[in-house]
Structure 1
Amino acid sequence: MGVRTNIMAAKPDNHAIYDLHDKPPFLTWLGLSLQHLFSMFGATVLVPLLVGLNPGVALFTSGIGTLLHLLITRGKVPAYMGSSFAFIIPMASLMKTVGYPAVAQGIIAVGLVYLVVALIITVTGTGWLDTIFPPEVVGPIIMVIGLSLAGSAATSATMINGKYDWKVFVVALLTLLATVAFNMFLKGFLGLLPVLLGIVFGYLMALVFGLVDLSPVATAHWFQLPNYETFIGKNGFHFYPAAVLSMAPLALVTLSEHLGHLMVLSKITGHDFFVNPGLKRTLTGDGTASVVAGLVGGPAVTSYGENIGVMQLSRVYSVWVIGGAAFFAVIFSFVGKLSALISTIPGAVTGGVGFMLYGVIAAAGLQVLVDNKVDYSKKRNLMIAAPVLVIGIGNFHLQLSAQMDFSGVAIATLLGILLNLLLPKVAASDRH
């Protein structure tokens, strides 16, 4: 049983409150879109802050990239595109040594890799996916995508400025418990917004505990044009082959994330996105989003697990809601005080919510195994799942250079594929 059969096994009872093309009433739509915006905001602006890029541009390109992805996939995939963490090391290095034109060329090259792979899939089809991604591989990979982020959430939920702080722990725990309570006990309109309400509650608690610095809001302008840059330097165009060679291979990392996120989305929505609109369109959407980001000064983008977690919790899969979040991201990139206010949400709050969002992604992988009755009394299944889980969660990564670092998720994905292809169907000790 392959990816396609595995996904469709969950389709008969899609419990969506708003399915892919359902358009919620205006106020509901507004709240649901803001929920997605708040969930991805912290991670999306963190990447440019770590690298030395403009956060306003990153917010702008995440919104534009998402709208382009929706357009290219014909409004059939509810994926939000945010700043990718996979390219932080090479981008930071290039920013220090060369400047943004080199970074931009690397980001554009990453997008072009996606487009080339999409072209290959257009010619070869996607039948090979069923061979390399059976349920015994898909389930653990999806679990790894969620659980590999657990350490990041735990750090945000306990540390501030590199030091442990009990106040951060308390706020994160209260945020988590509030999100759980909102999800379980609210109904109607408010029942659709457990993550947004959890973030608001956590923010209020963070204010009480003195964890919020509002000075950026006071100093920000109401209207603030993002600092756009291009791949052409101040002294004219210069090609940076080292930038391309250091970043383009890392597209293999985000390609594996793309497949994993598409599996999760297909699983939780009951719609097989590998068939409709097809992998060639989803990859084209991702690639185009990164190319555009590189053209205007933003970081490379990728689909976001945080937003997938929000969909899993709210059971709202509407592309209208995702499009609304993208629209707000573009608008907020020009409103300095609003983007500054959202940027003051402390790690204690995002970490507390992250415990829930990343966990529901992992639970979706577990559900794949349950739905397909994957038998772990069989050694073959166990030998695939065990190393994939530990390598992915423990981030057993391959660093070939200061700029080229393949994450544990990428290594785990590749290992799962290889083990599935190379191991015999039945272990010698299981033969009778």
Structure 2
Amino acid sequence: MTEKFRNKDAVLDVHDKPSFIQGLGLSFQHLFTMFGATVLVPILVGIDPSVALMSSGIGTLVYIFTTGAKIPAYLGSSFAFIPAMKLLMDNPNAGYGAVAQGAITTGLVYIIVSFIIKKIGSDWVNKVLPPVVVGPVVMVIGLGLAANAANNAMYNAAGEYEVKYIIVALITLALTIFFNMFLKGFLGLIPILLGIVSGYLVALAMGIVDTNVITNALWLAMPDIHIPFVQYQPTIHWNAILMMAPIAFVTMTEHMGHVSVLNKLTKRNYFEDPGLDRTLLGDGLAQITAGLVGGPPVTSYGENIGVLAITRIHSVFVLGGAAVLAIVMSFVGKVSAVIHSIPGPVISGISFILFGVIAASGMKIVIDNKIDFDKKRNLIIASVILVVGIGNLVLKTGTFELSGMALATLFGIVLNLVLPKEAASEK
């Protein structure tokens, strides 16, 4: 693959191909970088982590192919959909089929938006989803599961308060903070993975890890794939569709932000070539692919972009290699068993930071865009989004159900479109 432009600052530019051994090591580096976050999402919602690994690998390859192998990006499990997916997985009438339909729906939203952008441009996106809407919605995503994280750190499976659980959660939290603050280079990019490993060892020492599942697991095993019309007959889950579709508009802003960073990093303009419509199309097709195998929706990972920045190795072949390795790893039964054996307090310790970081990212959007909360319009929009989302207001009638996350996003979009620029008392 050739192109006229080459970024001289890159050790390996986008279309430079490393040797097999070199590429293997570099691809493993990206695999480890995304591993902790990608498997944490399915653990939190009750999906097989092996399926998430596989769907992230397949989704990344789909994205690379769709964008003409022009963009070095890795797609892993999206945190934005955690509250919605957890509600669906906990609902006996929903489960995998509902999550799959939600993931496919979000992918279709991306594809529809990509076609609209191709026809009329992207200016309208900022009008529908300005920072005053996106910031509070991202905060809701982070804070929506705060109580769940705290409960997992305090109570065992029988619902009994456990001091040992809190100790493990707090040690995991402390170690993860240490890794975030004091490690440099590649290790500084994988604090989540290091936190999970360290917390796991602490939990193992305190006797709250069930190792039997690891001992009994096979080395080679199929991921728990859920394919519609093959393993189950899907019915329409309107609650899943309406719950997850609005969140797609929020993750689109994250997608555009990542593309902007990659533009600066690789000294290219991906909004022009292959075009924002093509990058959104690739992301949408990747999400649909993930849904078709029972995985969570995927999104581009900032962690892997960080690796690109530090190593100055931007080769799309390296990212593709990481995707292939993820698929291969998903068939290693022992790996899946180890992930399944991670106790709740370890995940909680990580979640205290992770959910907070997501919420803080929403706050950062508000601050960076200098949203003026002295204006009643902005104050009302943010207030409604936060209370509806964090309070988990649910609109339910019959089998139709719209959760707090989706309602918060919808309310934010509607209020932004209908409220005047200024209240009558401000004129």
Q: What is the TM-score normalised by the length of structure 1? A: 0.76
The 3 A distance-change label for structure 1 pair 60 and 168 is same
Alignment of 1:15-94 (within 5 A): 30-44=28-42, 47=45, 49=47, 56-73=50-67, 74-75=70-71, 77-81=73-77, 85=82, 86=84
Q: State the match for 2:7 in structure 1.
A: none
The 3 A distance-change label for structure 1 pair 284 and 310 is closer
Q: 1:356-377: per-residue Cα shift (whole Å, max 9, x none)?
A: 2222222222222222222222
Alignment of 1:174-213 (within 5 A): 174-213=171-210
Q: State the match for 1:151 in structure 2.
A: 147
8 Å CA contact 1:77–1:319 kept in 2: the answer is no
Q: Alignment partner for residue 340 of structure 1, among 337, 340, 344?
A: 337
Q: State the match for 2:229 in structure 1.
A: 232
Question: Bigger CA drift: 311-320 or 77-86?
Answer: 311-320
Q: State the match for 2:255 in structure 1.
A: 262
Secondary structure in 2 matching 1:221: coil
Determine the C-alpha separation between the residues in 1 that align with 2:384 and 2:256: 20
Question: Bigger CA drift: 342-351 or 261-270?
Answer: 261-270
Aligned identity (percent) is: 41
Determine the C-alpha separation between the residues in 2 that align with 1:279 and 1:316: 25
Determine the C-alpha separation between the residues in 1 that align with 2:307 and 2:72: 20
The 3 A distance-change label for structure 1 pair 274 and 129 is farther
Q: Alignment partner for residue 350 of structure 2, among 331, 350, 353?
A: 353
8 Å CA contact 1:135–1:369 kept in 2: the answer is yes
Unmatched 5+ stretches in structure 1: 1-16
8 Å CA contact 1:66–1:81 kept in 2: the answer is no
Q: Which amino acid in structure 2 is aligned with residue 36 of structure 1?
A: M
Q: Alignment partner for residue 118 of structure 2, among 117, 122, 136?
A: 122
The 3 A distance-change label for structure 1 pair 337 and 381 is same
Q: 1:56-107: per-residue Cα shift (whole Å, max 9, x none)?
A: 44442232123323433442555424696535666765679xx97x997886
Secondary structure in 2 matching 1:80: strand
Question: Bigger CA drift: 359-368 or 103-112?
Answer: 103-112
* Distance apart, 1:311 and its partner CA: 6.9
Determine the C-alpha separation between the residues in 2 that align with 1:351 and 1:133: 31
* Distance apart, 1:218 and its partner CA: 0.6
Determine the C-alpha separation between the residues in 2 that align with 1:40 and 1:192: 14
Determine the C-alpha separation between the residues in 2 that align with 1:109 and 1:192: 32
Q: Alignment partner for residue 252 of structure 1, among 231, 240, 245?
A: 245
8 Å CA contact 2:196–2:346 kept in 1: the answer is yes
Secondary structure in 1 matching 2:236: helix
RMSD: 4.1
Q: Alignment partner for residue 418 of structure 1, among 399, 414, 419?
A: 414
Q: What is the TM-score normalised by the length of structure 2? A: 0.76
8 Å CA contact 1:140–1:385 kept in 2: the answer is yes
8 Å CA contact 1:142–1:263 kept in 2: the answer is no
8 Å CA contact 1:183–1:313 kept in 2: the answer is no
